[in-house]
């Protein structure tokens, strides 16, 4: 496949917002995007980087009716040391895992990785340079065949949009409150919980609204069978520190295998901090909060990196975490991961690639 590149005319470029942490998350998109098409006869074809534009879709496009859609989320980091991508091929590998689960065509990881790098560099003036800001990269695949019969689509679009991002939470790197849902569930065993697909998010919105009403910023999901064990939070995996052991839920098919989760596990183990993947009951967490063993709770994800948690709201009770401040391990992980992502520290894991 030949990647065609069509650049925007200088006078058509968008006006950029102010690049600081007030950028928020996911509100601005750059001047170009990458797009390619798929059909059964031609496979993936017509890959192109072109000026950002609207898509035209048939109102019967299958994605609009049956949610055959997958996506990814990763970032490019810009510092005085250069422009870096963090574990980007792992995101594309995970995208192919999601594609298989949703009966969608896999992409050629090396080709798309190369196109992604080119897109980031063409729009590099859209990568903010302040620490804690970055360029968010959103690869997306949608089913486009016009048909309202329920079956696998024969046509798809794959595209990548990028844009400047500040902090994910209005709170910034500060503790958040989370709401433990004992009524709604996110994903059930055998479902699509481990795929990064829009359907999981559609299913989560109602409970997220309930959490907001309770003054919490996210939902902590419990397992869908007996609602006893923790799974993950809205857009992040979750870790608990009981005294000197850090634990996180195992990958049993109902949670998203986070790349930040994996990085945190590897970093903790490299620091000789005990980190265990095992089931964690909500009872153990409530008990830990009461007897003081629960020292830290934090979420992990590309968007917020580490989100310290200060309070868990469960069945009309509030469970405090440690002192309510950012814990030592949360802070150390946050600093370490950022230093690696911004190319400030040597990366012993081979996670970053300098692309510019
Ligand atoms: C994307 C995502 C995460 C975090 O994954 P990272 O690879 O660390 O960004 C966690 N949970 C869900 C449901 C997600 O969609």
* CATH number reported for the structural domain that contains residue 262 in this entry: 3.20.10.10
- pLDDT over 90 (residue 265): yes
Q: Could you tell me if 159 and 196 lie in one domain? A: no
Question: β-pairing, 69-71 with 134-143?
Answer: antiparallel
Residue 151 pLDDT level (bands cut at 50, 70, 90): very high
* Distant-in-sequence, close-in-space partners of 348: CB < 8 Å, separation ≥ 6: 270
Q: Report pLDDT for 168.
A: 78
**pLDDT, position 284:** 98
Q: What is the pLDDT of residue 271?
A: 98
Is the residue at 353 inside a domain? no
210-251 per-position pLDDT tens digit: 999 999 999 999 999 999 999 999 899 999 999 999 999 999
Task: Specify the number of domains making up the chain.
Answer: 2
- Mark whether 75 and 129 lie in a shared domain: yes
Q: Is residue 356 part of a domain?
A: no
Task: Confirm if 262 and 248 have CB atoms less than 8 A apart.
Answer: no
Task: Decide if 349 is inside a domain.
Answer: no
147 and 194 housed in the same domain: no
180, 326: one domain = yes
Cα(37) to centroid of ligand 1, in Å? 26
- For 42, the domain range is 4-165
243 lies in the same domain as 310: yes
Please indicate whether residue 302, judged by its CB atom, sits closer than 6 Å to ligand 1.
Answer: yes
Q: What percent of the chain lies above the pLDDT cut of 70?
A: 100
User: Does 145 lie in the same domain as 185?
Assistant: no
72, part of any domain: yes
Q: Which atom of ligand 1 is nearest to the CA of 302?
A: 9
Do residues 226 and 288 both lie within one domain? yes
Pocket test for ligand 1, best of 221, 302, 306, 341 (most atoms within 8 A of CB): 302
Query: Nearest residue CA, atom 5 of ligand 1?
Result: 258
Query: What is the atom index within ligand 1 of the atom nearest the CA of 186?
Result: 13
Atom of ligand 1 nearest to the CA of 236: 10
Residue in 256, 257, 261, 341 to alter for ligand 1 test, most ligand atoms within 8 A of Cβ: 256
Q: Please indicate, yes or no, whether residues 142 and 251 belong to a single structural domain of this protein.
A: no
pTM to 2 decimals? 0.97
pLDDT band at 170 (very low <50, low <70, confident <90, very high): confident
Of 192, 199, 254, nearest in space to 223 by CA: 254
Domain CATH code at residue 19? 3.30.470.10
Tokens encoding 183: 């009524």
- Residue 234 has a pLDDT of 87
Residues 147 and 215 in one domain: no
299 Cα to the center of ligand 1, angstroms: 10
Residue 30 contacts residue 123 (beta carbons within 8 Å): yes
107 Cβ closer than 6 Å to some ligand 1 atom: no
Partners of 69 in the β-ladder: 142
Give the atom of ligand 1 at the shortest distance from the alpha carbon of 72: 1
Across the range 103-109, mean pLDDT stands at 98
């Amino acid at each position: 496949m030949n990647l065609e590149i069509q650049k925007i005319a200088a006078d058509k470029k968008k006006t950029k917002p102010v690049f600081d942490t007030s950028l928020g998350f996911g509100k601005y998109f750059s001047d170009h995007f990458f797009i390619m098409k798929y059909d059964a006869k031609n496979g993936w074809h017509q890959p192109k980087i072109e000026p950002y534009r609207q898509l035209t879709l048939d109102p019967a496009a299958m994605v609009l009716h049956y949610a055959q859609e997958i996506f990814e989320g990763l970032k490019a980091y810009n510092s005085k040391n250069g422009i870096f991508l963090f574990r980007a091929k792992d995101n594309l590998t995970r995208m192919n895992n999601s594609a298989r689960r949703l009966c969608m065509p896999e992409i050629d990881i090396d080709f798309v990785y190369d196109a992604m790098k080119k897109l980031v560099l063409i729009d590099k003036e859209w990568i903010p340079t302040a620490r804690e800001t970055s360029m968010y990269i959103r690869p997306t695949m949608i089913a486009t065949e016009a048909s309202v019969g329920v079956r696998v689509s024969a046509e798809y679009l794959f595209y990548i949009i990028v844009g400047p991002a500040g902090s994910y939470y209005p709170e910034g790197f500060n503790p958040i409150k989370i709401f433990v849902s004992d009524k709604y569930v996110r994903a059930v065993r055998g479902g699509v919980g481990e795929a990064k697909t829009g359907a999981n998010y559609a299913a989560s919105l109602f409970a997220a609204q309930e959490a907001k009403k309770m003054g919490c910023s996210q939902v902590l999901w419990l397992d869908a069978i007996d609602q006893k064990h923790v799974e993950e939070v809205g857009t992040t995996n979750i870790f608990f520190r009981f005294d000197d052991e850090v634990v996180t839920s195992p990958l049993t098919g109902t949670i998203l295998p986070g790349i930040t989760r994996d990085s945190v596990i590897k970093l903790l183990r490299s620091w000789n901090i005990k980190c265990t993947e095992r089931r964690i009951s909500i009872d153990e967490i409530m008990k830990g909060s009461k007897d003081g063993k629960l020292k830290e709770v934090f979420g992990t994800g590309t968007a917020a990196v580490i989100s310290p948690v200060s309070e868990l709201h469960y069945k009309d009770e509030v469970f405090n975490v440690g002192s309510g401040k950012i814990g030592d391990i949360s802070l150390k992980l946050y600093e370490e991961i950022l230093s690696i992502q911004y190319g400030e520290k040597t990366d012993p894991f081979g996670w970053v690639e300098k692309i510019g």
